[in-house]
Amino acid sequence: AQPTVDLSDNVLTARLPSGDSVTVYLYGATVTSWKTSNGSEHLFLSQAAVLDGSKPIRGGIPLVFPVFGPPPKSHATGQLPQHGFARNSYWEFLGKSSSESLGRKADDSVKLDFGLSSSMLDEAVRNKWPYEFGLVYSVTLEKGRLECQMNVQNKGDQPFDFQCLFHAYLAVKDISKTAVKGLQSSPYVDKVRSAQTFTESSPELTFSSETDRVYTPPASKDNTLVPLVVTEDGADSFVVTRDGLPDVTVWNGWEDKIKAMGDFEPKDGWKRYLCIEPGSVSSWTKLEAGDAWEGTCAFESKL
Ligand code: BG6
């Protein structure tokens, strides 16, 4: 058996013979579902997520580009909406490849490529950020694993600055029993404490109130980034690996913030998600004319 890929009404679903599946909306190239062969859903998607292309999708893996958070007013991204335009633009499906090229059997994985370029943006958006770019977003589904890779190309004759992030809403059973390992001694900016910088002291980050932090863990000696491990009730549930993405945002809005979000349902859903968002957001990446950049992360399910 081979992987199957169906695209209808701007929603793509790919399935492996093993039963693993992924769903991607062309709106935002947002992954909205990732299931492994036992049928478990590993991404949180709000029941009130707006799926008609009028608002970024609440849940799954929205893409953040070219700015993370509210854009600084004096920056070239200053007129853009929070988190940029990638998550609220329609992307095109460029095609699938079986990844024999990645050294696996053809039926073991499927790679889905999505594209967004400056010419595809609404004119109003293009006027706010008038650079020539090409994005290729590749989603690779393997048994028990989902890989997300962004390739950014500067196709114009001016350099531009950008930030990029994979805003993954991981589904967890109970946030109060969830922990993240691998952040000890990492510096972080705490957005709920006036964006001051702290150093993580705990080997296991746990959750008991609103959490909104950007961690920049130091790379290890051979320059690799240490994987993060999400645990639930003491058992490993996800391993998150990164390449070319120095930062990780850890976000849970907690009860009151989530209650105030019109597109977040059920209202107690804050207990059942944790955003682990690999990215390059603590500084700007400058891309010269003609240059390209790549960042990759992967989520492995351990349950
Ligand atoms: C996180 C930010 O990445 O995204 C939070 O760190 C923010 O501050 C959250 O609240 C959700 O953002 P939005 O724009 O999707 O509501």
- C-alpha dist (Å) from residue 202 to 130, 209, 233: 43, 16, 17
Confidence at 102, pLDDT banded by 50, 70, 90: low
Query: Are the beta carbons of 30 and 93 closer than 8 angstroms?
Result: no
Q: Whose CA is nearest to atom 15 of ligand 1?
A: 58
Ligand 1 contacts CB of residue 277 (under 6 A)? yes
Under DSSP, the state recorded for 38 is T
- Residue 247 Cβ inside 6 Å of ligand 1? The answer reads no
Could you give the angle at the alpha carbon of 234 between the alpha carbons of 145 and 18, nearest 5°? Answer: 25
Edge-to-edge order in the sheet of strand 21-25: 4-8, 11-15, 21-25, 30-35
Place 303 in a pLDDT band, splitting at 50, 70 and 90. Answer: confident
C-beta 272 within 6 A of ligand 1 = no
- Looking at domain 4-301, which of 1.10.10.10, 3.30.379.10, 2.70.98.10, 2.40.340.10 is its CATH number? 2.70.98.10
Q: Which atom of ligand 1 is nearest to the CA of 212?
A: 6
Q: What is the pLDDT of residues 105-156, one digit of tens each?
A: 666 899 999 999 999 999 999 999 999 999 999 999 999 999 999 999 999 9
pLDDT at 189 over 90: yes
pLDDT at 72: 97
Q: What is the ipTM of this complex?
A: 0.98
147, 167, 200, 300: the catalytic one is 167
Residue 87 annotated as binding site: yes
Residue ranges per structural domain of the chain? 4-301
Q: How confident is the model at residue 223 (pLDDT cuts 50, 70, 90)?
A: confident
pLDDT per residue over 37-75, tens digit each?
999 999 999 999 999 999 999 999 999 999 999 999 999
Per-residue pLDDT tens for 242-255? 999 999 999 999 99
Query: Which ligand 1 atom is the nearest neighbour of the CA of 277?
Result: 3
Q: If you average pLDDT over residues 88-107, what whole number do you get? A: 79
* Ligand 1 pocket check for 42: Cβ under 6 Å: no
Letter for the amino acid at 29? Answer: A
pLDDT score for 98 = 77
Respond yes or no: is residue 277 known to be catalytic: yes
What percentage of the chain exceeds 90 in pLDDT?
A: 94
- Ligand 1 pocket test target in 167, 247, 248, 281 with most atoms within 8 Å of CB: 167
pLDDT at 100 over 70: no
Task: Report how far residue 66's alpha carbon sits from residue 154's, in angstroms, rounded to the nearest whole number.
Answer: 12
Give every CB contact of residue 284 below 8 A, 6+ residues apart in sequence: 161, 162, 163
Q: Six-digit token pair at 244?
A: 């070319």
Residues 6+ apart with CB under 8 A from 303: 40, 232, 235, 237
User: Is residue 182 scored above 60 in pLDDT?
Assistant: yes
Q: What CA–CA distances, in Å, run from 28 to 9, 94, 140?
A: 14, 14, 17
69 CA → ligand 1 middle, Å: 7
| For ligand 1, atom 6: residue with the closest CA | 212
Report the pLDDT averaged over residues 260-283.
98
In this predicted structure, the answer to whether residue 99 has a pLDDT above a threshold of 80 is no
- Annotated catalytic, 255? no
Distance 256 CA to ligand 1 centre (A): 14
C-beta 87 within 6 A of ligand 1: no
Identify the active-site residue in 142, 200, 232, 277: 277
83 lines ligand 1 (CB under 6 A): yes
